[in-house]
Structure 1
Amino acid sequence: MTTDLSTYNNAFNRYIKYGLYLAAIFVLGWGFTSYKQMFLGLLLGTAVSILNVWSMHRKIGRVGQAVVEGTKVKTMGSLSRLMTAGLAVLIATRYPEYFDLIFVVVGLLMIYLIMLIDFYFASK
Protein backbone atom coordinates (compact mmCIF):
# COMPACT_ATOMS: atom_id res chain seq x y z
CA MET A 1 0.00 0.00 0.00
CA THR A 2 2.84 2.42 0.74
CA THR A 3 4.26 1.96 -2.72
CA ASP A 4 0.88 2.95 -4.18
CA LEU A 5 0.75 5.97 -1.89
CA SER A 6 4.31 7.01 -2.70
CA THR A 7 3.63 6.55 -6.43
CA TYR A 8 0.54 8.73 -6.09
CA ASN A 9 2.46 11.38 -4.13
CA ASN A 10 5.31 11.31 -6.65
CA ALA A 11 2.87 11.81 -9.52
CA PHE A 12 1.22 14.70 -7.67
CA ASN A 13 4.61 16.31 -7.03
CA ARG A 14 5.49 15.97 -10.72
CA TYR A 15 2.22 17.60 -11.78
CA ILE A 16 2.78 20.54 -9.44
CA LYS A 17 6.41 20.88 -10.52
CA TYR A 18 5.57 20.84 -14.22
CA GLY A 19 2.70 23.25 -13.64
CA LEU A 20 4.99 25.68 -11.85
CA TYR A 21 7.57 25.40 -14.63
CA LEU A 22 4.85 26.17 -17.14
CA ALA A 23 3.68 29.13 -15.03
CA ALA A 24 7.26 30.44 -15.01
CA ILE A 25 7.36 30.20 -18.80
CA PHE A 26 4.10 32.17 -18.94
CA VAL A 27 5.61 34.85 -16.68
CA LEU A 28 8.58 35.10 -19.04
CA GLY A 29 6.22 35.28 -22.00
CA TRP A 30 4.28 38.07 -20.30
CA GLY A 31 7.46 39.97 -19.50
CA PHE A 32 9.27 39.64 -22.80
CA THR A 33 6.59 39.55 -25.50
CA SER A 34 3.82 41.82 -26.64
CA TYR A 35 1.18 39.12 -25.97
CA LYS A 36 0.55 40.25 -22.40
CA GLN A 37 -3.18 39.42 -22.27
CA MET A 38 -2.59 35.94 -23.61
CA PHE A 39 0.16 35.06 -21.16
CA LEU A 40 -1.64 36.60 -18.18
CA GLY A 41 -4.72 34.56 -19.12
CA LEU A 42 -2.65 31.40 -19.32
CA LEU A 43 -0.98 32.26 -16.02
CA LEU A 44 -4.28 32.89 -14.22
CA GLY A 45 -5.85 29.71 -15.55
CA THR A 46 -2.80 27.60 -14.78
CA ALA A 47 -2.51 29.02 -11.26
CA VAL A 48 -6.15 28.17 -10.54
CA SER A 49 -5.64 24.75 -12.10
CA ILE A 50 -2.64 24.07 -9.86
CA LEU A 51 -4.65 25.25 -6.85
CA ASN A 52 -7.47 22.88 -7.77
CA VAL A 53 -5.13 19.90 -8.13
CA TRP A 54 -3.52 20.71 -4.78
CA SER A 55 -6.98 20.98 -3.19
CA MET A 56 -8.01 17.65 -4.69
CA HIS A 57 -4.81 16.00 -3.48
CA ARG A 58 -5.37 17.31 0.05
CA LYS A 59 -8.99 16.16 0.09
CA ILE A 60 -8.11 12.72 -1.26
CA GLY A 61 -5.62 12.42 1.60
CA ARG A 62 -8.39 13.27 4.04
CA VAL A 63 -10.70 10.70 2.48
CA GLY A 64 -7.98 8.06 2.72
CA GLN A 65 -7.38 8.92 6.35
CA ALA A 66 -11.12 8.74 7.07
CA VAL A 67 -11.33 5.32 5.42
CA VAL A 68 -8.42 4.06 7.52
CA GLU A 69 -10.02 5.42 10.71
CA GLY A 70 -13.48 4.20 9.70
CA THR A 71 -15.08 7.64 9.95
CA LYS A 72 -17.45 9.35 7.54
CA VAL A 73 -16.32 11.65 4.76
CA LYS A 74 -18.22 14.86 4.02
CA THR A 75 -17.38 15.73 0.43
CA MET A 76 -14.64 15.81 -2.16
CA GLY A 77 -15.10 19.54 -2.72
CA SER A 78 -16.12 19.57 -6.37
CA LEU A 79 -18.14 22.72 -5.80
CA SER A 80 -15.14 24.62 -4.39
CA ARG A 81 -12.99 23.68 -7.39
CA LEU A 82 -15.76 24.65 -9.78
CA MET A 83 -16.16 27.97 -8.00
CA THR A 84 -12.43 28.77 -8.20
CA ALA A 85 -12.54 28.11 -11.93
CA GLY A 86 -15.63 30.32 -12.14
CA LEU A 87 -13.79 33.03 -10.22
CA ALA A 88 -10.95 32.92 -12.74
CA VAL A 89 -13.44 33.32 -15.59
CA LEU A 90 -15.16 36.14 -13.70
CA ILE A 91 -11.83 37.93 -13.23
CA ALA A 92 -11.09 37.55 -16.94
CA THR A 93 -14.48 38.96 -17.93
CA ARG A 94 -14.20 41.82 -15.45
CA TYR A 95 -10.68 42.79 -16.56
CA PRO A 96 -10.51 41.98 -20.30
CA GLU A 97 -7.74 44.55 -20.76
CA TYR A 98 -5.45 42.30 -18.68
CA PHE A 99 -6.71 38.74 -19.26
CA ASP A 100 -7.81 36.98 -22.43
CA LEU A 101 -10.81 34.79 -21.52
CA ILE A 102 -10.01 32.05 -24.05
CA PHE A 103 -6.50 31.65 -22.66
CA VAL A 104 -7.80 31.59 -19.08
CA VAL A 105 -9.94 28.60 -20.06
CA VAL A 106 -6.95 27.00 -21.82
CA GLY A 107 -4.89 27.60 -18.67
CA LEU A 108 -7.58 25.93 -16.56
CA LEU A 109 -7.14 22.82 -18.70
CA MET A 110 -3.34 22.98 -18.67
CA ILE A 111 -2.83 20.72 -15.62
CA TYR A 112 -4.93 18.02 -17.29
CA LEU A 113 -2.76 18.27 -20.37
CA ILE A 114 0.28 17.89 -18.10
CA MET A 115 -1.31 14.77 -16.57
CA LEU A 116 -1.98 13.28 -20.02
CA ILE A 117 1.56 13.92 -21.21
CA ASP A 118 3.01 12.55 -17.96
CA PHE A 119 0.84 9.45 -18.24
CA TYR A 120 1.93 8.94 -21.84
CA PHE A 121 5.63 9.09 -20.96
CA ALA A 122 5.17 7.01 -17.79
CA SER A 123 3.43 4.26 -19.76
CA LYS A 124 6.25 3.99 -22.30
Structure 2
Amino acid sequence: MQDLSVAFTRYRKYIFYLLAIYVLGWGFTAYQTIFLGLILGTVGSFYILFSLVRKDKQFSKAFQEGRKIRSLGTMSRMAVAGLAVLVVVEFPDKFHLGSMVLGLMTSYFVIMIDFFFQHIRK
Protein backbone atom coordinates (compact mmCIF):
# COMPACT_ATOMS: atom_id res chain seq x y z
CA MET A 1 0.00 0.00 0.00
CA GLN A 2 1.30 3.41 -0.91
CA ASP A 3 1.92 6.19 1.56
CA LEU A 4 -1.12 8.34 2.21
CA SER A 5 0.87 11.58 2.03
CA VAL A 6 1.95 10.76 -1.55
CA ALA A 7 -1.65 10.13 -2.53
CA PHE A 8 -2.74 13.28 -0.69
CA THR A 9 -0.49 15.44 -2.86
CA ARG A 10 -2.25 14.06 -5.94
CA TYR A 11 -5.68 14.56 -4.36
CA ARG A 12 -4.79 18.11 -3.37
CA LYS A 13 -3.73 18.91 -6.94
CA TYR A 14 -6.95 17.51 -8.41
CA ILE A 15 -9.13 19.32 -5.88
CA PHE A 16 -7.37 22.63 -6.58
CA TYR A 17 -7.96 22.12 -10.31
CA LEU A 18 -11.64 21.51 -9.60
CA LEU A 19 -11.80 24.60 -7.42
CA ALA A 20 -10.28 26.66 -10.23
CA ILE A 21 -12.93 25.35 -12.62
CA TYR A 22 -15.65 26.16 -10.09
CA VAL A 23 -14.34 29.71 -9.65
CA LEU A 24 -14.34 30.18 -13.42
CA GLY A 25 -17.87 28.81 -13.53
CA TRP A 26 -18.93 31.21 -10.79
CA GLY A 27 -17.37 34.14 -12.59
CA PHE A 28 -18.49 33.47 -16.15
CA THR A 29 -21.88 31.74 -15.93
CA ALA A 30 -25.32 32.63 -14.69
CA TYR A 31 -25.28 29.73 -12.19
CA GLN A 32 -23.46 31.58 -9.44
CA THR A 33 -25.37 30.00 -6.54
CA ILE A 34 -24.63 26.50 -7.80
CA PHE A 35 -20.93 27.19 -8.22
CA LEU A 36 -20.70 28.94 -4.83
CA GLY A 37 -22.29 25.85 -3.28
CA LEU A 38 -19.75 23.66 -5.06
CA ILE A 39 -16.91 25.89 -3.88
CA LEU A 40 -18.12 25.86 -0.28
CA GLY A 41 -18.63 22.10 -0.26
CA THR A 42 -15.31 21.39 -1.94
CA VAL A 43 -13.40 23.60 0.48
CA GLY A 44 -15.10 21.76 3.34
CA SER A 45 -14.33 18.43 1.70
CA PHE A 46 -10.69 19.39 1.28
CA TYR A 47 -10.44 20.35 4.95
CA ILE A 48 -12.02 17.04 5.94
CA LEU A 49 -9.50 15.17 3.78
CA PHE A 50 -6.62 17.23 5.17
CA SER A 51 -7.78 16.52 8.72
CA LEU A 52 -8.03 12.81 8.00
CA VAL A 53 -4.50 12.68 6.56
CA ARG A 54 -3.14 14.61 9.53
CA LYS A 55 -4.87 12.30 12.00
CA ASP A 56 -3.57 9.28 10.08
CA LYS A 57 0.00 10.56 10.48
CA GLN A 58 -0.57 11.10 14.19
CA PHE A 59 -2.09 7.63 14.51
CA SER A 60 0.83 6.00 12.68
CA LYS A 61 3.37 7.82 14.84
CA ALA A 62 1.56 6.87 18.05
CA PHE A 63 1.32 3.26 16.91
CA GLN A 64 5.05 3.10 16.21
CA GLU A 65 5.78 4.58 19.64
CA GLY A 66 3.36 2.21 21.36
CA ARG A 67 1.00 4.96 22.50
CA LYS A 68 -2.77 5.13 22.15
CA ILE A 69 -4.64 7.84 20.30
CA ARG A 70 -8.02 9.07 21.46
CA SER A 71 -9.84 9.41 18.15
CA LEU A 72 -9.41 10.05 14.47
CA GLY A 73 -11.41 13.29 14.64
CA THR A 74 -14.76 12.12 13.36
CA MET A 75 -16.70 14.75 15.29
CA SER A 76 -14.59 17.62 13.97
CA ARG A 77 -15.07 16.43 10.40
CA MET A 78 -18.82 16.13 10.91
CA ALA A 79 -18.79 19.63 12.42
CA VAL A 80 -17.26 20.99 9.20
CA ALA A 81 -20.11 19.47 7.21
CA GLY A 82 -22.61 20.89 9.68
CA LEU A 83 -21.03 24.32 9.45
CA ALA A 84 -21.30 24.22 5.66
CA VAL A 85 -24.99 23.34 5.95
CA LEU A 86 -25.52 26.21 8.41
CA VAL A 87 -23.89 28.65 5.99
CA VAL A 88 -26.17 27.46 3.19
CA VAL A 89 -29.27 27.67 5.38
CA GLU A 90 -28.30 31.17 6.53
CA PHE A 91 -27.65 32.44 2.98
CA PRO A 92 -29.98 30.48 0.65
CA ASP A 93 -29.87 33.26 -1.94
CA LYS A 94 -26.07 32.88 -2.32
CA PHE A 95 -25.51 29.10 -1.99
CA HIS A 96 -27.26 26.08 -3.48
CA LEU A 97 -27.78 23.23 -0.99
CA GLY A 98 -27.59 20.36 -3.48
CA SER A 99 -24.37 21.55 -5.03
CA MET A 100 -22.86 22.08 -1.58
CA VAL A 101 -23.63 18.45 -0.73
CA LEU A 102 -22.00 17.35 -4.00
CA GLY A 103 -19.02 19.53 -3.12
CA LEU A 104 -18.73 17.82 0.27
CA MET A 105 -18.43 14.50 -1.56
CA THR A 106 -15.76 15.80 -3.95
CA SER A 107 -12.78 14.35 -2.10
CA TYR A 108 -14.40 10.91 -2.10
CA PHE A 109 -15.02 11.14 -5.85
CA VAL A 110 -11.41 12.24 -6.36
CA ILE A 111 -10.14 9.31 -4.27
CA MET A 112 -12.23 6.79 -6.22
CA ILE A 113 -11.24 8.17 -9.62
CA ASP A 114 -7.56 8.34 -8.63
CA PHE A 115 -7.71 4.75 -7.35
CA PHE A 116 -9.24 3.66 -10.66
CA PHE A 117 -6.52 5.38 -12.69
CA GLN A 118 -3.71 4.13 -10.44
CA HIS A 119 -5.09 0.60 -10.70
CA ILE A 120 -5.20 0.80 -14.50
CA ARG A 121 -1.69 2.28 -14.61
CA LYS A 122 -0.24 -0.66 -12.69
Q: TM-score range by the shorter chain?
A: over 0.9
Q: Aligned partners of 2:99 and 2:19: how far apart in 1?
A: 13
Corresponding residue number in structure 2 for 1:107:
103
Q: Is residue 2:50 matched to residue 1:54? A: yes
Q: Aligned partners of 2:33 and 2:2: how far apart in 1?
A: 41
Corresponding residue number in structure 2 for 1:95:
91
Q: Aligned partners of 1:90 and 1:50: how far apart in 2?
A: 18
Corresponding residue number in structure 1 for 2:8:
12
Q: Output the TM-score relative to the length of structure 1.
A: 0.93
Aligned length: 120
Q: Aligned partners of 1:111 and 1:73: how far apart in 2?
A: 25
Unaligned 5+ runs, structure 1: none
Q: Aligned partners of 1:51 and 1:30: how far apart in 2?
A: 21
Q: Secondary structure at the match of 1:56?
A: helix
Q: Aligned partners of 2:94 and 2:19: how far apart in 1?
A: 16
Cα RMSD, aligned residues only: 1.0
> Shift of the alpha carbon at 1:71?
1.0
> Shift of the alpha carbon at 1:4?
3.7
Q: Aligned partners of 1:29 and 1:61: how far apart in 2?
A: 35
Alignment equivalent of 2:22, drawn from 26, 38, 41: 26
Equivalent residue runs for 1:54-93 within 5 Å: 54-93=50-89
1:103 aligned partner, one-letter code: S
1:73 aligned partner, one-letter code: I
Aligned-pair identity in percent equals: 44
Q: Is residue 2:115 matched to residue 1:119? A: yes
Corresponding residue number in structure 2 for 1:36:
32
Unaligned 5+ runs, structure 2: none
Give deviations 1:12-54, integer Å, cap 9, x for gaps. 1111110111011101100111100000000000000000000
Q: Secondary structure at the match of 2:107?
A: helix
Q: Aligned partners of 1:9 and 1:57: how far apart in 2?
A: 7
